[in-house]
Structure 1
């Protein structure tokens, strides 16, 4: 386990020390409450099943990290960064050859994205596309800026395309700001044409922090689909009176109506189903089956200060309530207390709902009484499946399903992950990519499957070197070019389900992890309401990737990754100035 200090800020454990490195000063990150859009149609549609892919090649281009970076060790997969002095930055250039994700016919971009999102994801983004009002946010003391319809701006007639030289003149001095250090990578892409307008060391891998969640969001939506739901089940155990709670990988599962996530599945409702199925015969023992997820429960390269009980992430298990939190409250500042063993704690809470006093233990659910586990007979029909009478009322055959509850649609879970930068949700989503691909639901299985999915989508998977799905690991590496390519593809309509990620991106000065960014006087305030982006923050790392509309009305995708920064507050301000410079660039 690594040494480190406790996190003092919510997002991605901002200001926690990297393994073996010092911590910088504390930062403040605001978060708005996340609304719950209505359920999409066909929400119970079965998931697609992916193929099994080979492990993606590990790139050889990654630069050394700055002193105080990740501890040198032998991780489970991929090379750890090598300590050493920073490599001098290459000259800034304008690259116009990277067009593997060009969106095609410009007018189809808006129509494709709009139709896909309105069909499967009514909610905040629908209002941005002209289909209704923007989602309501938690009331604040100051009026909230109305978000600009970012995706609606993306057509061939909207705005003047900036020139590479113009962008370089506007932001290159900002990219060289002392607060950002020497390890800065920038990519700026025109969303309509796919043209790379400005690139500064954009193909080298940088520590991405929470911008990793963009890859997690895109790959899980592509692998499972926006309507997919996660199921938590209870079956009869091998012994009379024994019930088995089976974790289905739902991080949003709640205990009762006091839920962290709107519309979450609930243990009290599951307990009521079990009680009814048993015909009034009270269970006497509860087991938990957490076999869906395998391998280590914490990631390589995670600082110990980030891990529960007082950190920003819990042990990653297939059974938990409120993403492992002790209370259904998301703490905007400081630690976010979690259970040290989320699965066992969830089992105990379930036992309380059933009135079972016996100790909760781990176990394995018996096979269903029929050959097809997906059609397990409910307890109410147990006599039909068991004519010899052993499954009499209150004593169903082992493996008989006694109840189940389902999560909200996956698109809502991805929204919460992006808005709150929830690390536990991110890790469980990565494991869903693995399960869809037929791989083990582990850190390694998740990251291999995410990279394979990028390759399958036509994105350069060799520009990602991942050790987790949340971005907490200092060993993670992603190129700015990959992030802008992913965003351009999501907006282009060729992969409609990927377009759902835009609805979850925080809005500058308005929501999520950008609520208190771009809210200061000029020049940064120009970005308020017109920037949607995922931020990332670790000690010495400050990143942002998303979309914006220039003052000339042009939609751009951008990524800025700085992994050798100074104090967090100064680095964030410098990063915001770059993005604000793009918004205000009449170039």
Structure 2
């Protein structure tokens, strides 16, 4: 009995201590997640653009909500998140898109979503079937779009090249014992072949093929030049702050692992100062591993008519675009901007790319006068895109006349399921959007956007875009975006 009297209070103390520690860790975990989202740093699986202040101490501080001012966390696993509403299955609702919404009723639904300090916005909702605008709020005003910019960049590349296009990295020989590694602007060329990503081209595969061809010709020793001249102009966009050096690479037509110093690293990390030269050195080592003695490695140009030795091809452009949109890949988007410039008959500069994208938007009927393009990823704060441009483009992408643009829709993350929306739509007021809302995120400090498609409860397929600039509270702005699109998804707004 004495032992029992002793154990009871001890066990009780252990249980209470565990509960307290769990509560504390949960609260701090929730606050940490809120802080990351407020500064624009999203989930490792789904990075969007990074907050300007995250890497530059002198930049304007990001508004970070405290535990008493921000709304409930949209992460359903966070402490305090309601579990009273069952999570819908992570699948898209089927529809023939034949529903019809009342503009007045839908407008009331949008205006009824109130989140304190979420900021002003440029917004538009458009019927995908008819093209009719069913909601508009400052939709023609140019707003900083952040990563929603990737939609227009990808559209131009698809329109010019087609979804089945592939980019080729090759080796040519201008003379016996001399080879040139020629970059074809493959954004996802890897250093080593990977079973996890077998559709991606790799330098290791190219080295193996090159070595086999050289040996067949009786060549065992070569000099190696590398040619990245497909793209020209500044490798770094002049409107980007230098503090973005850990979130964007210097754009090159020849690189491996997107110019990152650490293969397989996340969105943040050191980048190579000379991606093309680094790729060439890796390739030289791989050739030597295959029994080819490589002498000098130098920058050069492939001569016209040089004999082709070996080549590898990228994923299809369709898959590249889907990956860029799903993961909000800045580096991939910037390469697509340069590819659009080249495909449009211009030099491969970012300025030429922006001009070509603008021309394609006009040709597609998706241009709005407030649009001003400066880069391809949305990292620049000088880019301006009105919500109307995005909804027009999304509607065009769904038309039978433009099947080449379909990856703009298939590449959109699904709310609460994948990509940059995987961990979003978690509170009671946004849960309805899970599995139904699809959208491209956009995040910079004081800039938040979401643009995509929604299948409403009554069967209407809508294109939408909401761009929030300069909110008083960054985190609350993201919550408003989730709640307003979820509210639209529940429409029987007739």
Q: What interval of TM-score do these two structures reach, taking the shorter chain for normalisation?
A: 0.7 to 0.9
The one-character-per-residue Cα deviations of 1:535-585 (angstroms, maximum 9, x if unpaired) are: 000111000000011222211110000111234322211211111121123
1:539 and 1:568 in contact (8 A); partners too: yes
Alignment match of 1:582 (pick from 477, 488, 494)? 488
Verify: 1:288 aligned to 2:192, yes or no. Answer: no
The one-character-per-residue Cα deviations of 1:241-260 (angstroms, maximum 9, x if unpaired) are: 33211110001111222378
1:509 and 1:529 in contact (8 A); partners too: yes
1:190 Cα shift? Answer: 1.2
1:162-241 to structure 2, matched below 5 A, reads 162-174=101-113, 177-182=115-120, 184-237=121-174, 240-241=176-177
Match of 2:445 in 1: 539
1:493 and 1:499 in contact (8 A); partners too: no
Higher CA-based Rg: 2
Match of 1:252 in 2: 188
Alignment match of 1:431 (pick from 338, 355, 359)? 338
Gapped runs of 5+ residues in structure 2? 1-38, 66-72, 76-85
1:8 and 1:16 in contact (8 A); partners too: no
Match of 1:340 in 2: 273
1:438 & 1:573 partners in 2: Cα distance? Answer: 43
Alignment match of 1:556 (pick from 452, 459, 462)? 462
1:179 is paired with a residue of what secondary structure? coil
1:289 & 1:7 partners in 2: Cα distance? Answer: 36
1:331 Cα shift? Answer: 1.8
1:315 Cα shift? Answer: 0.4
2:377 & 2:280 partners in 1: Cα distance? Answer: 25
1:433 and 1:450 in contact (8 A); partners too: yes
1:340 Cα shift? Answer: 2.4
1:262 Cα shift? Answer: 4.1
1:124-143 to structure 2, matched below 5 A, reads none
Alignment match of 2:367 (pick from 454, 460, 464)? 460
Seen in structure 2, the aligned counterparts of structure 1 residues 496 and 339 have a Cα distance that, compared at 3 Å, is same
Seen in structure 2, the aligned counterparts of structure 1 residues 430 and 257 have a Cα distance that, compared at 3 Å, is same
1:209 and 1:543 in contact (8 A); partners too: yes
Match of 1:22 in 2: 60
1:144 Cα shift? Answer: 9.0
1:298 & 1:7 partners in 2: Cα distance? Answer: 21
Count how many residue pairs are aligned between Structure 1 and Structure 2: 427
Seen in structure 2, the aligned counterparts of structure 1 residues 7 and 439 have a Cα distance that, compared at 3 Å, is same
Match of 1:302 in 2: 240
TM-score by length of 2: 0.81
1:457 Cα shift? Answer: 1.5
The one-character-per-residue Cα deviations of 1:485-509 (angstroms, maximum 9, x if unpaired) are: 1111111212111122211110000
Verify: 1:272 aligned to 2:208, yes or no. Answer: yes
Match of 1:146 in 2: 90
2:414 and 2:435 in contact (8 A); partners too: yes
The one-character-per-residue Cα deviations of 1:18-71 (angstroms, maximum 9, x if unpaired) are: 9974141689999xxxxxxxxxxxxxxxxxxxxxxxxxxxxxxxxxxxxxxxxx
Seen in structure 2, the aligned counterparts of structure 1 residues 416 and 295 have a Cα distance that, compared at 3 Å, is same
1:153 is paired with a residue of what secondary structure? coil
Bigger proportion of residues as helix: 2
1:315 is paired with a residue of what secondary structure? coil
1:361-372 to structure 2, matched below 5 A, reads 361-368=298-305
1:258 is paired with a residue of what secondary structure? coil
Match of 1:379 in 2: none
1:341 & 1:260 partners in 2: Cα distance? Answer: 27
1:268 Cα shift? Answer: 1.6
1:465 and 1:476 in contact (8 A); partners too: yes
Match of 1:118 in 2: none
2:224 is paired with a residue of what secondary structure? strand
Match of 2:49 in 1: 13
1:432 & 1:449 partners in 2: Cα distance? Answer: 10
1:12 and 1:536 in contact (8 A); partners too: yes
Seen in structure 2, the aligned counterparts of structure 1 residues 579 and 8 have a Cα distance that, compared at 3 Å, is closer
1:173 Cα shift? Answer: 4.3
Gapped runs of 5+ residues in structure 1? 1-5, 31-141, 369-398
Alignment match of 1:441 (pick from 348, 356, 361)? 348
2:312 is paired with a residue of what secondary structure? strand
1:252 & 1:298 partners in 2: Cα distance? Answer: 19
1:217 and 1:414 in contact (8 A); partners too: yes
1:13 and 1:306 in contact (8 A); partners too: no
1:379-390 to structure 2, matched below 5 A, reads none
1:216 & 1:532 partners in 2: Cα distance? Answer: 18
1:476-491 to structure 2, matched below 5 A, reads 476-491=383-398
